[in-house]
Homo-oligomer: A and B are copies of this chain.
Amino acid sequence: MKVARSTPAFQPLYQQIKSLITQGLISGEWSPGSVIPSEIELARRYEVSQGTVRKAINELAAENLLVRHQGKGTFVSSHAEENRRYYFTRIAADRGERVLPDAELLEFRRGKADARVAARLGVSAGASLLVLRRVLRDAGRPVILETVRLPAALFRGLTAELLAQRGALLYSTYESVLGIRVLKAEESIKAVRADAEAAVRLEVEPGSPLLAVERVALTYGDRPVELRHSLCNTRDYHYQARIV
């Protein structure tokens, strides 16, 4: 395919190559974990120089869509990879490493999006949702009570059995089972009082302070795909953030 070099709305060549490669990722031509064609091959295919392809790939790698390995090739990044697995887990134990939680599925049901949820998920009010609630434990102690809302239209095929047989890490399931790739997330955090249910589930006094995290997870084009509310007992845990 030949790219346009002068269009009414001019875009640099490497930006056009970025879009073409991203299309290949969205369409599934190259799937998570697999290798994409070499720079030289892509340069031939798109009829641009290797340097232009490299610039496009470097930006996609900086955005964590691709991973480069000298001598081996360029790979589609995947939540199954060791270093991506806990990328979205921001809760860590005060002493020690990031929590590898063990998830107990409390509930898995269909629901409808109210106005607020609909706005966050970019669906219309009343749209059908899958709702799942879980408790995440660390070393047997409950740490996080979580409610996850997913647009049912997107997550057709997700079942409680599937969730049970795969671990606590949902994004790897979304990716491999449903082909939905979570790329980034925006979180909004507050301190709240434990309500009666949270107190029971997290084994704290009612009214205890909990960290409330609302996450919107985004896929290609910043399209929201998941809304997640977590209540976290931060007595022995904390949320890690970095400002760079």
Point out residues on A near B: beta carbons under 8 Å: 62-64, 87-88, 90, 184-193, 207-212, 232, 234, 237-244
- Find chain B residues with CB under 8 A from A63 CB: 244
Closest 7 pairs between A and B when the two form their complex, measured CB to CB: A209-B209, A191-B191, A190-B234, A191-B209, A189-B239, A187-B241, A191-B211
Best-surrounded residue of A184, A191, A211, A212 (most CB of chain B within 10 A)? A191
Closest to A233 in B: B191
Partner of A64 from B187, B189, B244 at Cβ < 8 Å: B244
Number of copies: 2
| Main SS at interface, chain A | strand
**A66 to chain B: closest CB distance in Å?**
14
Report A84 CB to chain B, min CB distance, Å. Answer: 12
The docked-state distance in angstroms from the alpha carbon of A23 to that of B207 is: 52
- A238 contacts B188, CB within 8 Å? yes
- Rounded to whole Å, the gap between the CB of A19 and the closest CB of chain B is 19
Q: Which residues of B contact A193 (CB under 8 A)?
A: 208-209
Selected from B88, B208, B237, B238, the residue in CB contact (under 8 A) with A243 is B88
Question: Taking CB as reference atom, which chain B residue is nearest A185?
Answer: B243
A244 touches B184 (CB 8 A): yes
Chain B residues with Cβ below 8 Å from A62 are: 62
Check if B209 sits within 8 Å of A242, measured CB to CB.
no
Query: Which residue on B lies nearest to A58, using beta carbons?
Result: B58
Given A191-B191, A192-B191, are A90 and B211 neighbors across the interface (CB < 8 Å)?
A: no
Chain B residues near A184: list those with CB within 8 A.
Answer: 242-244
Q: How far is the CB of A194 from chain B (nearest CB, A)?
A: 9
